[in-house]
Every structure is written in C-alpha cells, then in structure tokens.
C-alpha cells in the first residue's frame, strides 16, 4: 500500500465533508455528544462507523481482539467509564462478528505467546457454555455460536461495572449485543435480554 494515497484520500474526504457543510470541521471542533458506545473487534474487515452508516461525532468507539470487555483491562474500563459517566451515551453495544480470528484461535490448542492471556477470556466463555457448545457437531456452527455467546458474556461483563449499573438506574442506559455477518454484511441484533441479565447478576455484582 502506498501511504501517500492515504493523504490524498484525506484531502478528497475534507473536500467532500466541506461540500455537505462549510462549517463541518468548525462544528466538529466544538465537542462531541455521541449517543452510542460501540465495542467491536479490531479485525480490519469489521469497521465501526461504516457498517452502521454513522459519521464523525456519532459513536464513541473501542476496538480490541474479539471485542472483549475485561474488568482488569484498564483501557476498556476507562473507555466505558468515560463514555457512560462523562459523555453520557444512552446505548452501549458489543458487536462481535462471524469469522472472528480471535474466537477461532481460542478454540484451538496453540501457544500464542502474549495472546494466551487475552484468548483465555474467550476460553472461559467456552467453559461457561461447554454443554451447549459441545452438543453442536458442525464445527462452523459451533464457532458461530461461540462468537454469539462471547458477545453475550461481554454484555454481562459490562453490566458488572458500576458505571453501567448507575447509568441504568439514573437514565435507563441500554446494553445491546450484536453480530456482524461478514459473509453478507448484515448486522444482527442478538436481542440480549439486558434487564434479565442485570436482574440475574445483581445479587452478586451489585455495586451501586
């Protein structure tokens, strides 16, 4: 890839944005009030704003390998805290995707060095749902189901945070689990029953 092309693209993009509004960048510079926190995979094929048809200023974005929400990940926890408690987004989305290399790697026995600790979180998801997953004989279907269950468990991890519990109580913040189907481009709402999970885990994880 010729990186000069990137700067050329940038110039063309500026022109395009200014054609929609002369004060486009002036307005962007004033600040942000996104409605949505999007937590997705770093996979180069799964963009954030593009697949949702959103533009700058509309989504606060965090991406990592296999869209994980780990309570000891200072990066993810800081993003959640800032987006939920300070920017006051109304929706938090965890978006996984079929064909996720991170999820696939967690299903295989291989020493991947520093990635082991990260992928262990996905293996934990497998362990929690072992009975359901082991009953699926088709490997591809099993893999897709693990992608979905991983999204669900990361939504549950979000609900364990004080920021999300407080925002739900104070202003009805909602958590959503989605999957991007890389083969069709379709965004699928897993219809995670957020309130049910919240109710289920509050007995143990109640913080606020």
DSSP character at residue 174: E
Catalytic residue at 41? yes
What x/- string results for residues 7 through 36 when contact with Zn ion is judged by CB under 5 A? Answer: ------------------------------
Near Zn ion by CB under 5 A, which window of 4-12, 38-46, 77-85, 108-116?
Answer: 38-46
In the complex with Zn ion, which residue's Cβ is closer, 157 or 165?
A: 157
Instruction: Count the site residues for Zn ion by CB under 5 A.
Output: 4
Q: Does 158 bind Zn ion (CB under 5 A)?
A: no
3-19 per-residue burial string, b: 16 or more CB within 10 A, e: under 16: eeeeeeeeeeeeeeeee
Q: Does 122 bind Zn ion (CB under 5 A)?
A: no
* Phi, psi values for residue 117, rounded to 5°: -65, -40
**Least Å distance between CB 64 and Zn ion?**
9
* Phi, psi values for residue 38, rounded to 5°: -110, 120
Q: Does 144 bind Zn ion (CB under 5 A)?
A: no
Q: Does 41 bind Zn ion (CB under 5 A)?
A: yes
37-73 per-residue burial string, b: 16 or more CB within 10 A, e: under 16: bbbbbebeebebeebbebeeebbbbbbbbbbbbeeeb
Q: Does 89 bind Zn ion (CB under 5 A)?
A: no
162 by DSSP, 3-state: which? Answer: helix
Q: Does 100 bind Zn ion (CB under 5 A)?
A: yes
**Least Å distance between CB 8 and Zn ion?**
29
Q: Does 43 bind Zn ion (CB under 5 A)?
A: yes
Handedness of CA 94, 97, 98, 101 (dihedral sign): negative
Q: Does 94 bind Zn ion (CB under 5 A)?
A: no
Helix, strand, coil shares of the chain, percent, nearest 5, are: 50, 15, 35
Q: Does 68 bind Zn ion (CB under 5 A)?
A: no
In the complex with Zn ion, which residue's Cβ is closer, 30 or 183?
A: 183
> Are the C-beta atoms of 61 and 79 separated by less than 8 Å?
no
DSSP character at residue 83: I
In the complex with Zn ion, which residue's Cβ is closer, 70 or 174?
A: 70
Q: Does 153 bind Zn ion (CB under 5 A)?
A: no
Per CB under 5 A, residues contacting Zn ion are 41, 43, 100, 102
Catalytic residue annotation? 41, 43, 45, 97, 100
């Amino acid at each position: 890839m010729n990186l000069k092309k990137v700067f050329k693209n940038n110039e063309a993009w500026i022109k395009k944005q200014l054609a929609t509004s002369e004060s486009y960048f002036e307005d962007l510079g004033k600040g942000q009030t996104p409605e949505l926190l999007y937590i997705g995979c770093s996979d180069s094929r799964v963009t954030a704003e593009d697949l949702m048809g959103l533009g700058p200023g509309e989504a606060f974005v965090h991406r990592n390998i296999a869209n994980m929400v780990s309570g000891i990940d200072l990066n993810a926890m800081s993003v959640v805290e800032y987006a939920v408690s300070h920017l006051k987004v109304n929706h938090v989305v965890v978006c996984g995707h079929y064909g996720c290399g991170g999820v696939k790697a967690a299903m295989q026995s291989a020493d991947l060095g520093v990635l082991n600790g990260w992928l262990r979180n996905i293996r934990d998801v497998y362990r929690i749902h072992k009975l359901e997953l082991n009953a699926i004989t088709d490997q591809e279907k099993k893999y897709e189901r693990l992608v979905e269950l991983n999204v669900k468990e990361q939504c549950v991890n979000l609900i364990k945070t004080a920021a999300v519990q407080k925002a739900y109580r104070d202003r009805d913040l909602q958590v959503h689990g989605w999957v991007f189907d890389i083969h069709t481009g379709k965004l699928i709402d897993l219809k995670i029953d957020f309130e049910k999970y919240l109710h289920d885990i509050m007995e143990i994880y109640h913080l606020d």
